[in-house]
Amino acid sequence: MRSYEAMFILRPSLDEEAVKANVEKFKGIIENNGGEIENVDLWGKRRLAYPISKVNEGYYVLVNFKGNSELPKELTRNFKISDDVIRDMVVKIEN
């Protein structure tokens, strides 16, 4: 299993429960596809470096996990189809 880091930014219009529901949804995707979550770090609402679709803020979430090589592709696919995710990035961590 390889180590990965996923960061995604959720829309600022979401309430606290919707943010937690989205985090749980993506954690479930990782776990249901044979992954193992190491750490979830909610950074909270922060200002974006530049506007994205006229949005200046977002909820930042960082997830460290282990999984097979297909898991990041599936996670990215789910980020792309979610209306609540503004930006996402999944990177492999070299050990």
pLDDT (tens digit, 0 to 9) for every residue of the chain, 95 residues total? 899 999 999 999 999 999 999 999 999 999 999 999 999 999 999 999 999 999 999 999 999 999 999 999 999 999 999 999 999 999 999 87
- pTM: predicted TM-score of the whole model, two decimal places: 0.91
Residue 2's SS3 state is strand
What Cα–Cα distance (Å) separates residue 46 from each residue in 10, 12, 15, 18, 33? 10, 9, 14, 17, 30
**Could you tell me the domains of the chain?**
2-92 (3.30.70.60)
d(CA 65, CA 89): 13
DSSP characters over 41-84 = EEEEEEEEEEEETTEEEEEEEEEEEEE-TTHHHHHHHHHHH-TT
